[in-house]
Amino acid sequence: MLENIKDIICSFVDVEHDSITADSKLTADLGLCSMDLAMLSSEIENEFGVVLSPKVFATVKTVGAIAEYIEQQK
Amino acid sequence: MKQSSVPSVKELLNEGAAKFGSATFIKYIENGQIKEKSFIQIRDDSECVCRLIRHGNNKKINIAVIGKTSYEYLVFCSGVLSSGNVFVPFSPEISVDEAAELFERADIEMLFFEEAFADRAAELSAAFPELKSVCFSQADEIYAKYSADSEYSSLSDIEEDKEQCAIIIYTSGTTGVKKGVMLSMNALVGNIMYREYCTDIFNEGVVALSVLPMYHTFCFSGDYIKNLKDGLQVCLNGEFRDIAENLKRFQPKVIRIVPMIAQSLLGKIKILLRRNPSLTPRQAAEEVYGKNIKWLISGGAYLSPELVVEYDKLGIFLRQGYGMTEAGCRISVPDDGVAFESVGRIIDLCEVRTLNGEIQVKTPTVMMGYYKMPEETKEMFTEDGWLKTGDIGYVTEDNQLFITGRVKNLIILSSGENVSPEAIERKFSSVELVEEVLVYGEGNKLIAEFYPNAEYAQANGINNIEQELERIVDSLNETAKSSHLISEVRVRDIPFEKTGPGKIKRYETKI
């Protein structure tokens, strides 16, 4: 699942897939803005079939935390 | 200067129905399916809402409409505007407390709301027992009961006074107190009746995607009223985050945006180009924006010339306009001949002068004043009647306007959202660990910088002050509006510089 999330993130920010880790911070490390996060939430919903409001990113701040959140929602 | 023969929204709806008839005006997604509504349909549905309002109600009242952009939202707004009453839009994110305060101040007597607001509407009804409220979900019943062949049909036959207040729009003030800008029908519609230089955009059948919130003047005036007049097809984006999918689905030619959207989507285009070297820049742009994209009209926040240049390379005109609700919306609009750094050409309705560097405006579409705030209204005008914009800039010989700075405290994020820092700072007033706090914007982020109370920290065993402040901010973020989320916490060792007793000197917002 982490790999799929990294793939999606790579369509928003120009970073190498392999340079993204579970600990990468979405805003501070990867540079995603609130607009990116909004679109990311939509793509994650489509990919994993879970409801993910952009507001979740106030507390879900890393790539690994997204994976954990999806697991909890499933 | 006075404009002659400005139509009302009701007349625009009738003209649209007569001129463009059953052509699609509004497109939107419902349960995964594309729905279409014609110019005739929206006119007829709006008339039903108008009759509902006037059924048993003869006096002029102020009516709040709360909802995300949807077909029903537009119908209820139009119904209010066609009924001779006053339309008062609010953000769908508004809290019960803020709504209660503003309802009181705005003398709201009736409320139309989307289903997501139902719980808050119930609380407001309890607080205001006289408030009549109607949910958008009752729309079909209203259309059936108040149709043109019903016993109520004559209720929509009214004589309009276009000089009277038609809309009150609450805007964030520099003091943190929201002010209700009153516009007459003549000002609301008159502001779109300027001479247009973009001759290939605002034409019948051209597809526009509407992504910004309709409770903002820039969007309501442009994406709805102007497009209704010009006969465009308006596709409603719905949720902000679905924009990538809707660009592919609707293939728009023109979009009104804020700079952050352009910046974010440019990022996607650049990634596509880097990973697919065989694509031309235009092809990559069309992958993201759809094949028809030609114009992006930016407003609400500073647009960097670098971004404009990048979009030119993609065959997309990204240009910005400038205005303020107090001026009826537009002061200048872009055309394809304006300089990258310009905020557009001053519209033929407006006169602009600069006094001590400040842009000041005279226009027939100027506000009637702030609702029940005569002192604040007076402060907005010079003694000789010019509207003070609070922005610094200059005008060139060919009537292009350039803005070089802001004299306001207000944080304007690159997303176009206005944030009153005082309102956020006040939330920390009861936090004992916080001695002083300053909230400011950098790009599209809000930063909270703290000077902590070291004594309190020591007395209470708080070793990692930054971590504790982050925890406090996270907890405040959980209940904050999305535009008020603090992205970063900074801690300083020395108190802030002051401009007067207890008044922290503000930083200039870095955009």
Tally of CA atoms within 13 A in the half-sphere of B46 that contains its CB: 28
Pairing of strands B295-298, B317-320: parallel
Higher pLDDT, B350 or B199: B350
Q: What is the mean pLDDT of residues A11-32?
A: 86
Q: What is the mean pLDDT of residues B14-39?
A: 96
Q: Domains (ranges, CATH) in chain B?
A: 9-14+36-160 (3.40.50.980), 191-320 (3.40.50.980), 412-504 (3.30.300.30)
| Cα B83 from chain centroid (whole Å) | 23
* pLDDT above 90: residue B319: yes
Among B313-317, B421-425, B483-487, the minimum mean pLDDT is found in: B421-425
Can you state the percent helix, strand and coil of chain A, rounding each to 5?
60, 5, 40
Tens-place pLDDT, residues B199-223: 778 889 999 999 999 999 899 999 9
Mean pLDDT taken over chain B? 90
Domain spans in chain A, listed from the N-terminal domain onward = 2-73
* pLDDT range class, residue B288, cuts 50, 70, 90: very high
Q: How many pairs of residues across A and B have Cβ atoms under 8 Å apart?
A: 61
Residues of chain B contacting A, Cβ within 8 Å: 239-245, 260-261, 263-264, 267-268, 270-271, 274, 415, 443-445, 474, 477-478, 480, 482, 485, 487-488
Give me the residue from A35, A41, A54 closest to B264, CB to CB. Answer: A35
Fold of A2-73: 1.10.1200
Q: What is the mean pLDDT of residues B453-480?
A: 89
Higher pLDDT, B64 or B407: B64
Among A11-20, B158-167, B278-287, the minimum mean pLDDT is found in: A11-20
* pLDDT above 80: residue B309: yes
Q: Which of B51, B64, B291, B54 is nearest to B180 (CA)?
A: B64
Euclidean distance between CA atoms A48 and A74, whole angstroms: 9
User: If residue B419 lies in a helix (H) or strand (E), which one and from where to where?
Assistant: strand B418-419
Predicted complex ipTM: 0.73
- Tell me what pLDDT residue B392 has: 76
First vs last Cα of chain B: how many Å apart? 36
* pLDDT above 80: residue B55: yes
Give the CA distances from residue B426 to residues A54, B302, B355, B504, in Å, rounded to whole numbers and listed in that order.
25, 27, 34, 13
- Tell me what pLDDT residue B510 has: 44
| Phi, psi of B104, rounded to the nearest 5 degrees | -65, -50
